[in-house]
Amino acid sequence: MRFRPDQSLADAHAELTRLLVEAGIDAPQRDARFLLQGLLKIGGALLISGGTRLLGADAARVEDAARRRMAHEPVSRILGQRAFYGREFIVTPDVLDPRPDTEAVVELAMDLLKARGLLERPFSIADIGTGSGVLMVTLLAELPQAQGVATDLSEAALSVARRNAEIHGVTDRVRFVATSSLEGCQGPFDLVVSNPPYISTEEIGGLERAVRDYDPLLALDGGGDGLDVYRKIARDSASLIRPLLVVLEVGATQAGQVERLFTDVGARPVGQRKDLGGHIRAVALEIHP
């Protein structure tokens, strides 16, 4: 055992950082802090001040977390939770680990709803490929007058989304449906959001370990050119009652291609949002009557 019950928090932090450096982890000190804070439910100040608290019975959990992070398992998966748009979400091996970049979809959707004076109105949302439910649950929590339908091909992912809806008190305003895209969902919807799988099949093998080994393949693989699910969403959206706003996450180089798939079915691009790396990460399209 590298971690012992009689070890101080400051020592444990130093030891965990050292192990993560050895394992080639990118931000070892930050990850060691997040892991200890998450596992022991303590503030960062206690780690830095080196107070008198010892690891005690938590030593074994820290040992296990160290082993998992050294194998490049993401911190959020070890802790079983991830912050998104200011709220904590449960994540399990059955769902994509939600990324901060996906907040661009929420931001773009909220901006467009505000510009159209729709924030205060009763509102209907569809979230395709909901995974942990971050998009749908966040939008419902931000828009108390909204309700919606969240779909996923994975029943296991839908169970996680249901738990997150419960935690954030929006269960009575969302229906979870196991289906592909919006098959069998009637609407009408005012807004469709989605962060579909968009990596091309060929690129999956070259992804970094933290993604390839821990995110479900169904959440990543977008087919031969990465655009298969966008094609289906474009077809399904075009058959819905209009007007309809569609806000989608896209891969770093896909904005133009995805917009074309939608303009081909009569939609008009109405907005884009960049991520922190400067890539267009979210696109918005409107389909008119």
Ligand X SMILES: C[S@@+](CC[C@H](N)C(=O)[O-])C[C@H]1O[C@@H](n2cnc3c(N)ncnc32)[C@H](O)[C@@H]1O
CB of 189 to ligand X, least distance (A): 15
CB of 220 to ligand X, least distance (A): 7
Nearer to ligand X, 59 or 104 (CB): 104
Maximum alpha-carbon separation in the chain: 69
Q: Which of residues 199-258 bind ligand X (CB under 6 A)?
A: 218-219, 229, 232
Q: Figure out which of the listed residues 9, 134, 174, 247 binds ligand X, where binding follows CB under 6 A.
A: 134
Residues 6+ apart with CB under 8 A from 272: 108, 255, 280, 282, 283, 284
Q: Figure out which of the listed residues 76, 130, 138, 164 binds ligand X, where binding follows CB under 6 A.
A: 130
128 binds ligand X (CB under 6 A): yes
126 binds ligand X (CB under 6 A): no
Report the distance separating Cα 70 and Cα 199, nearest Å: 26
74 binds ligand X (CB under 6 A): no
Report the distance separating Cα 10 and Cα 123, nearest Å: 50
Nearer to ligand X, 16 or 149 (CB): 149
Q: C-alpha dihedral over 39, 137, 119, 274, to 10 degrees? A: 70
76 binds ligand X (CB under 6 A): no
Nearer to ligand X, 32 or 244 (CB): 244
3-state SS class at 90? strand
Helices (H) and strands (E) in the chain, counts: 12, 9
What stretch of H or E contains 238? Answer: helix 228-238
197 binds ligand X (CB under 6 A): yes
Positions in the binding site for ligand X (CB under 6 A): 95-96, 98, 102, 128-132, 134-135, 151-154, 157, 180-181, 195-197, 218-219, 229, 232
